[in-house]
Amino acid sequence: MNRQPCVYILASGRHGTIYIGVTSNLMARLHQHRTGAVPGFTARHGVKRLIHYEMAETMDAAIVREKQLKAWRRDWKIALIEQDNPFWEDRAVMLGFPPLA
């Protein structure tokens, strides 16, 4: 999954604080979020759980999708998340990360 444009959604917990981001290396970015390596919104709010991600063909396409999702109403974001992840399970575990404490 290295160098693959991706839009991702993190949450602090089920129906908790949501963060939408974009990256070209999801595994490295998840590691940064989960360890609090980068100070900012996600570290301050404990937003570490990967609840949704979408791969994109290009970085430009990923950025367009990120902006689109950020503009959505919260209930639309929740519907998108729950379409494939109704219980807001941490998808990072499926990618090889240890479960969060």
Indicate whether 1 pLDDT > 50: no
Burial of 54 (0-12, 13-18, 19+ CB in 10 A): middle
Q: What's the domain range around 58?
A: 6-84
Overall domain count for the chain:
1
Given pLDDT bands bounded at 50, 70 and 90, which one contains residue 3?
Answer: confident
In a domain, 10, yes or no: yes
| Residue indicated by tokens 């444009």 | 5
Global pTM value: 0.95
Establish if 92 belongs to a structural domain.
no
pLDDT of residue 2: 57
Q: Is residue 47 part of a domain?
A: yes
Q: Where would I find the H helices in 36-84?
A: 41-45, 59-71, 74-84
100 in a domain, yes or no?
Answer: no
Q: Is residue 95 part of a domain?
A: no
37-78 pLDDT, tens digit each: 988 999 999 999 999 999 999 999 999 999 999 999 999 999
CATH number of the domain bearing residue 68 = 3.40.1440.10
